[in-house]
Copies of this chain bind each other. A is one copy, B any other.
Amino acid sequence: MKMNKTQKWRILLPLVVVALMMILATPVFAQDGGPGEEISDISLSINIMWMIIGGFIVFFMQAGFALVETGFTRNKNVAHTMLMNMMVFCIGAVGYWLTGFAFQFGAVNLAYPEVARAGVIAGEWAHSPVTLGDWTGLLATPLLRIGQFGIIGGSGFMLAGIGTNVGILAFFLFQMVFMDTAATIPTGSMAERVKFIGFVIMSLWVSMFIYPLVAGWIWGGGWIQNLGRSLGLGNGAVDFAGSGPVHMIGGCVALAGALVIGPRIGKFNKDGSANTIPGHSISLGVLGTIILFFGWFGFNPGSSLGFLGGFRDLAVIAAVNTLLAGAAGGCSAMTYMWLLGPTKKPDPGMSVNGVLAGLVAITAPCAFVDGWAAVVIGLIAGVLVCLASVWIEKWGIDDPVGAVPVHFFNGLFGVLAVGIFANGNPATAAWNGVETPVTGLLYGGSTQIIAQTIEVVSVFVAAFGLSYVFFKVLAGFNLLRVSREVELQGLDIPEMGVVGYPVDWEPSNLEDEVPAALPGTATKKAFGTAD
Q: Given that A331-B91, A348-B79 are known contacts, is A46 also in contact with B42, CB under 8 Å in the complex? A: yes
Question: Is A2 engaged at the interface, CB distance under 8 Å to the other chain?
Answer: no
Chain B neighbourhood of A164, CB < 8 A? 313, 317, 425, 427
Q: Please determine whether B35 and A286 come into contact, CB atoms closer than 8 angstroms.
A: no
Question: Is A117 engaged at the interface, CB distance under 8 Å to the other chain?
Answer: no
User: How many monomers of this chain does the complex have?
Assistant: 3
- A67 is contacted by which of B34, B41, B287 (Cβ under 8 Å)? B287
Q: Given that A97-B371, A258-B520, A265-B510 are known contacts, is A331 also in contact with B90, CB under 8 Å in the complex? A: yes
Q: Please determine whether B498 and A309 come into contact, CB atoms closer than 8 angstroms.
A: no
Question: Is A89 engaged at the interface, CB distance under 8 Å to the other chain?
Answer: yes
- A484 is contacted by which of B83, B85, B259, B530 (Cβ under 8 Å)? B530
Question: Is A278 engaged at the interface, CB distance under 8 Å to the other chain?
Answer: yes
Q: Please determine whether A297 and B502 come into contact, CB atoms closer than 8 angstroms.
A: no
Report the minimal beta-carbon distance from A14 to chain B, rounded to whole angstroms: 11
- A320 is contacted by which of B62, B169, B520 (Cβ under 8 Å)? B169
Separation of A45 and B152 alpha carbons in the complex (Å):
35
Q: Please determine whether B82 and A169 come into contact, CB atoms closer than 8 angstroms.
A: no
- A63 is contacted by which of B159, B291, B513, B524 (Cβ under 8 Å)? B291
Interface SS of chain A: helix
Q: Please determine whether A290 and B86 come into contact, CB atoms closer than 8 angstroms.
A: yes
Which of A164, A301, A474 is packed against the most chain B CB atoms within 10 Å? A164
* Range class of the A interface residue count: 35 or more
Question: Is A147 engaged at the interface, CB distance under 8 Å to the other chain?
Answer: no
Separation of A345 and B327 alpha carbons in the complex (Å):
42
Separation of A272 and B519 alpha carbons in the complex (Å):
11
- A371 is contacted by which of B159, B278, B345, B484 (Cβ under 8 Å)? B159
Q: Please determine whether B316 and A48 come into contact, CB atoms closer than 8 angstroms.
A: yes
Chain B neighbourhood of A265, CB < 8 A? 507, 510, 513, 515, 529
Report the minimal beta-carbon distance from A337 to chain B, rounded to whole angstroms: 9
Question: Is A266 engaged at the interface, CB distance under 8 Å to the other chain?
Answer: yes
- A50 is contacted by which of B34, B49, B293, B330 (Cβ under 8 Å)? B49
Report the minimal beta-carbon distance from A42 to chain B, rounded to whole angstroms: 6
Separation of A281 and B280 alpha carbons in the complex (Å):
13
Chain B neighbourhood of A70, CB < 8 A? 283
Chain B neighbourhood of A275, CB < 8 A? 505, 507
- CB-defined interface of A470-493 with B at 8 Å, one 1/0 digit per residue? 001011101111111101101000
Chain B neighbourhood of A327, CB < 8 A? 89-94
Separation of A262 and B87 alpha carbons in the complex (Å):
34
Q: List 27 A-B contacts (CB under 8 A).
A: A38-B39, A41-B308, A52-B301, A52-B315, A56-B57, A56-B297, A59-B323, A66-B287, A74-B504, A75-B503, A78-B282, A85-B286, A86-B289, A90-B355, A166-B316, A169-B320, A173-B319, A258-B520, A262-B529, A265-B510, A268-B518, A275-B505, A282-B500, A347-B496, A475-B527, A481-B529, A485-B530
